Amino acid sequence: MVEKGVDIAPANGKLGILLVGLGAVSTTFVAGVEAIRKGAAQPIGSLTQMGTIRLGKRTDNNCPKIKDFVPLADLDDIVFGAWDIFSDSAYEAARNAGVLEKSQVEDLREQLESLRPMAAVFEQNYVKRITGENVKTGKNKMELAEQLIADIARFKEEKGCDRLVMVWAASTEIFIEPSDIHNDLEAFEKALYDDDARIAPSMIYAYAALKSKVPFANGAPNLSCDIPALTKLAEDNNVPICGKDFKTGQTLMKTILAPGLKSRMLGLEGWYSTNILGNRDGEVLDDPENFKTKEESKLSVLEHILQPDVYPDLYKDFAHVVRINYYPPRGDNKEGWDAIDIFGWLGYKMQIKIDFMCRDSILAAPLCLDLALFMDLAQRAKMKGIQEWLSFYFKAPQTAPGLYPEHDIFIQLMKLKNTLRHLKGEDLITHLGLEYYD
C-alpha cells in the first residue's frame, strides 16, 4: 500500500453535463440516464456503474464496485445541457434518431422535452451535409467563443450546478492538419479575432470550456482540443481534457482481437473492414473530407498494436482498409464486416470473418456517461491536461507530444484501473506471481 492516496474533493452537489450535439449518441445517453434513474433500465456497458476493481491480493477477496471505490457523481445529481444546430428538444431528436423504441422515448417524454439545445457555433464548411437554423452569429470567432462562455456560466447558475463537464458528441468535422495558428495560445486567440478559417467550431467549444475551467472530452475524431495551444491552456488552467473518437463498433472489435493475435505471435497479411450505416453520422461521413478524419482515426489502431517494426516477420506491410458506406435503410443499426487474413506455424494461411450487427449509439452512450463521471473525478483529484488513463474509451487516444498512443484495450483497462488504485493509495496490480520465488 502506498502511503496515502490523492486528496479528492467530494462529489457534492449537482454535476452539469454539457453535450455539444444533441443527436443519436447524446439523446441515447440522456434517455438512458433518465431511464436508469427511474429504475426502468440497467447501466449496461458502463464501467463506472457496473465495473469492479480488485484490491490487494487475490486471496483478499476484495473487489468493490468502481463507483463505491472512488467518489463519482451520483446519477441522480446529473443535469444535462446541450447545443445543436437544430432546435429540436431531446424528445424530438431522440425520435428522429430512431435508436430507441418509440414507447421507451414516450415514457421519458417529459424529461427529454425539457432538454432544449442552446444555439450552436457552426460553420458549414466543416460539416457540409447538414444545415440548421439554431446557430449563433457574431462579428468574429472570439465573439462566438465569448457567447459559449456566457452560455456555460448561465447554465451553471440557472441549474444550480457545482461542477460541469463538456462532451463533444457533434458531427465529425472535415479533416484538417494542425498549423502555426494552433501552436500557441497567443496565435490561436489572434486567429479567433481574425476569424481564421483554420479554427474549427470544435476548437471554439474546447476553448470556451477550458477558459471556463470545464473538463472537455472529445468523442469525435476532429482535432478540437488536440492542438498545442489548447493542451497548454488545459495545463495552465488546471483542466483535464481527453479524446479522440469514441471507441465503439468495429474499432472496439479490432482492439479486442488484434492484441490476442499478437499475444500468440500469429501473423497478419491484411485486415479489410467495411461498414454500412444509415444515420445522420453516416450521412455526414459520406462526404470524403469528413470521412478522411474518421479514416485517419480508424487506421492508426493496428499499426500501434501490432508494432511491425518490432515484429517485421509477422506484421510488416500488412494491408489495412477501412470503408464506411452510407446506407439509409439500416439507420443507427450499423453492420460491420471484417475479413482478416492471418498466418500461423510455417506460414500457413487462415481467415477470420466478423459480422458485427451493432447499434452504434447503444455502444457509445455508456462511454459518454463514464467519460463525464471520470473527467469530473479527475478535476476533483486535481488532474490536468491530457488524461491518457481514459484512452480505453477512444479510437485515437490523445497523448502528450512524443508519446505513441496505447491502443490495446487490455493495457488501456489496466492503466485505467491502476490510475484509480493510485488515486486511492492502493497497491497497483502487476499480476506478478511472487509465490514462485524463495
Binding residue for ligand NAD (CB under 6 A) from 363, 369, 386, 420? 363
Binding residue for ligand NAD (CB under 6 A) from 29, 122, 175, 216? 122
Task: Please report how close the Cβ of residue 172 comes to ligand NAD at its closest, in angstroms.
Answer: 4
Task: Please report how close the Cβ of residue 124 comes to ligand NAD at its closest, in angstroms.
Answer: 10
Annotate each residue in 266-285 with x if it binds ligand NAD (CB under 6 A) or - if it does not, as one string: -------------xxx--x-
Binding residue for ligand NAD (CB under 6 A) from 151, 226, 245, 370? 245
Binding residue for ligand NAD (CB under 6 A) from 48, 147, 248, 333? 248
Cα 416 from Cα 432, distance rounded (Å)? 18
Task: Please report how close the Cβ of residue 245 comes to ligand NAD at its closest, in angstroms.
Answer: 5
- Does residue 366 touch ligand NAD according to CB under 6 A? no
How many chain residues are in contact with ligand NAD, going by CB under 6 A?
Answer: 37
Look up residue 120 and give its DSSP letter. B
Cα 94 from Cα 32, distance rounded (Å)? 11
CB closer to ligand NAD out of 280 and 417? 280
Cα 374 from Cα 73, distance rounded (Å)? 9
Cα 333 from Cα 336, distance rounded (Å)? 10
Cα 91 from Cα 105, distance rounded (Å)? 7
Q: Which residues pair with 218 in a beta bridge?
A: 168
Structure-derived torsion over alpha carbons of residues 360, 362, 367, 369, reported in degrees to the nearest 10: 140
Contact yes or no for 121/205 (Cβ under 8 A): yes
- Does residue 226 touch ligand NAD according to CB under 6 A? no
Contact yes or no for 335/276 (Cβ under 8 A): yes
CB closer to ligand NAD out of 226 and 426? 226
Task: Please report how close the Cβ of residue 352 comes to ligand NAD at its closest, in angstroms.
Answer: 22
- Does residue 31 touch ligand NAD according to CB under 6 A? no
Residue nearest ligand NAD, CB atom distance: 23
- Does residue 20 touch ligand NAD according to CB under 6 A? yes
CB closer to ligand NAD out of 131 and 238? 131
Task: Please report how close the Cβ of residue 73 comes to ligand NAD at its closest, in angstroms.
Answer: 22
What is the C-alpha R_g of the chain?
A: 22
Alpha helices in 22-89 (DSSP H): 24-37, 47-50, 66-69
Task: Please report how close the Cβ of residue 361 comes to ligand NAD at its closest, in angstroms.
Answer: 5
Sheet holding 267-277, edge to edge: 319-326, 267-277, 335-343, 349-357
Task: Return the ∠ at Cα 247 (arms to 398 and 28), rounded to 5°.
Answer: 120
- Does residue 127 touch ligand NAD according to CB under 6 A? yes
H or E element, residue 15: strand 14-20
CB closer to ligand NAD out of 69 and 83? 83
Q: Which residues pair with 357 in a beta bridge?
A: 335
Task: Please report how close the Cβ of residue 291 comes to ligand NAD at its closest, in angstroms.
Answer: 10
H or E element, residue 240: strand 240-242
CB closer to ligand NAD out of 354 and 429? 354
Q: Which of 175, 53, 80, 54 is nearest to 125 (CA)?
A: 175
Annotate each residue in 36-75 with x if it binds ligand NAD (CB under 6 A) or - if it does not, as one string: ----------------------------------------
Site for ligand NAD in 166-225 (CB under 6 A): 169-172, 201, 219-220
Q: Which of 319, 315, 276, 322 is nearest to 297 (CA)?
A: 322
Task: Please report how close the Cβ of residue 249 comes to ligand NAD at its closest, in angstroms.
Answer: 6
Residues interacting with ligand NAD, by CB under 6 A?
A: 20-26, 83-86, 97, 120-122, 127, 130, 132, 169-172, 201, 219-220, 245-246, 248-249, 279-281, 284, 360-361, 363-364
